[in-house]
Structure 1
Amino acid sequence: MNLDNIRIVLVNTSHPGNIGGVARAMKNMGLSRLYLVEPRQYPDEQATWRAATAADVLDGAVVTRTLDEAIADCQFVVGTSARSRNIPWPLQDPRACAGRMAEASVHEQVAVLFGREDRGLTNEELRRCNLHLNIPTSEDYSSLNLAMAVQVVCYELRMLLDAGRLPASEDAEWDTPFATRENMERFYVHLEETLVQLGFLDPAAPRQLMTRLRRLYSRVRLDEMELNILRGILTETQKFLPRDSATVSSPGGSE
């Protein structure tokens, strides 16, 4: 994929703040080529304010009078559409469409068109596209802010670009080894002793308390540092408890 070959094209945007929001969404995901087709109010301080630190994307924006000017050198054009049309057209969701755009962007110029805030792209504008893109939404509320829609599409492109660098599993970047079974058993003994001393656990009627606590900590998976922290809390707690309280002699002895 070559993000430099992918441009975001906004057609006849009515609110300058939305242009700034789009610039920010693009920069978040690493895209920089913004085309503005006859914006109603631009440049404008509201666009600059909404762009935050993405002013460079705004500064590099290309303003054109017509859509044809904005996509004249493009080989693959995608148009976002919020509703079905009378004549069926190839249609994909953002994830599937991102794959098509990524493939084309290696050697071709790609444009993604976003229409007016109130009514999107016209049928004539959509007929200029090779593919239509629809973002699935709840039937109860299908309206998407322009910057939000651009963010969704740019995010899917970013995920494809970073696919090889994303962690393969939830533990890939963990900074401390997970606790060994031996150390976990020592923790359970320590925990049970402390609960008995506190009077929270009655050895005569344990009611599966330790079993449930074992299940809890097993589900969380403690690392060695977290385990040491918990053991330290238990040790400090015991300093304030009477020394003649009953203690357990083996792991899970009250189960």
Structure 2
Amino acid sequence: MNPDNIRIVLVHTTHPGNIGGVARAMKNMGLHRLYLVAPASFPNEQANRRAVSADDLLDGAIVTDTLEEAIGDCQFVVGTSARERRIPWPLLDARQCAARVAEASAAEQVAVVFGREDRGLTNEELKQCNLHLNIPTSSEYSSLNLGMAVQIVAYELRMLRAAPEKPAVETENWDTPFASRENMERFYTHLEETLIDIDFLDPAAPRQLMSRLRRLYGRVRLDEMELNILRGILTETQKWVERDSKD
């Protein structure tokens, strides 16, 4: 595991104190890369008070306007989700997820994304993630503070780092870097355009086709060479469609 490759991303955080609580939880467990997507109030003295001795994480926090900016260069993205989705997505608990994050971080940029305090991440935001993380809680009271949720995930990562035997990295000797989130988004746009061109996808009634294809490719995880091959196939397909329309 390489903590330098792991970032914690907070999306549209409402309460600045929660940002400070997250910074403290991260520093407790040896994580230091904090990204904030359009926070309601930051910098803020309340955040610094809650951070206690983790002011350096707040000082180094990267603030972006969109989630896409925060995870664009990442190859592996985990989104926290507290509820079932219409289309099931690969879903792990904190311990299982930590193992996947630790594995990927050995050679890739990894983001663990936490949503709004009141409603979490939107469906569109979750579609940008390779897998979803759920922290099981009691059915009698399932509400988790944002700082607590980050602490649980960070703790599981810390335990893996402290273990005498680290998990094997199945992609350690992979010959090509995995595709970044930014390049994957370009691919999905290209794929959708091509499917419309060949009349496979009706933009007026798309149903869940693109969501299911996102889930498919997110589960497989493409490297940059594989992505370029697929983009090339899509480009040639569009050329054939254009030639056919002129005949």
**Aligned position for 1:18:** 18
Whole-Å separation in 2 of the counterparts to 1:48 and 1:101:
28
Deviation string, structure 1 residues 1-38 (Cα, Å, up to 9, x no partner): 00110000000000000000000000000000000000
Secondary structure, counterpart of 2:42 in structure 1 = coil
Unaligned runs of 5+ in 2: 166-247
Cα RMSD, aligned residues only = 0.7
Whole-Å separation in 2 of the counterparts to 1:112 and 1:51:
20
Q: Which amino acid aligns with 1:3?
A: P
Secondary structure, counterpart of 2:164 in structure 1 = helix
Deviation string, structure 1 residues 21-62 (Cα, Å, up to 9, x no partner): 000000000000000000011110000000000000101100
Across the two proteins, how many residue pairs are aligned to each other? 165
Whole-Å separation in 2 of the counterparts to 1:118 and 1:80:
13
5 Å matches for 1:135-174? 135-164=135-164
**Aligned position for 1:101:** 101
Whole-Å separation in 2 of the counterparts to 1:52 and 1:148:
16
Task: Provide the TM-score with structure 1 as the length reference.
Answer: 0.64
**Aligned position for 1:111:** 111
Whole-Å separation in 2 of the counterparts to 1:61 and 1:41:
13
Secondary structure, counterpart of 1:35 in structure 2 = strand
**Aligned position for 1:85:** 85
**Aligned position for 1:34:** 34
Whole-Å separation in 1 of the counterparts to 2:98 and 2:145:
20
Task: Report % sequence identity.
Answer: 76
Secondary structure, counterpart of 1:164 in structure 2 = coil
Larger Rg, first or second structure (1 or 2):
1
Unaligned runs of 5+ in 1: 166-255
Secondary structure, counterpart of 2:83 in structure 1 = coil
Task: Provide the TM-score with structure 2 as the length reference.
Answer: 0.66
**Aligned position for 2:72:** 72
Whole-Å separation in 1 of the counterparts to 2:82 and 2:153:
14
1:164 shift after superposition:
1.3
RCO (CA 8 Å, sep 6+): is it higher in 1 or 2? 2
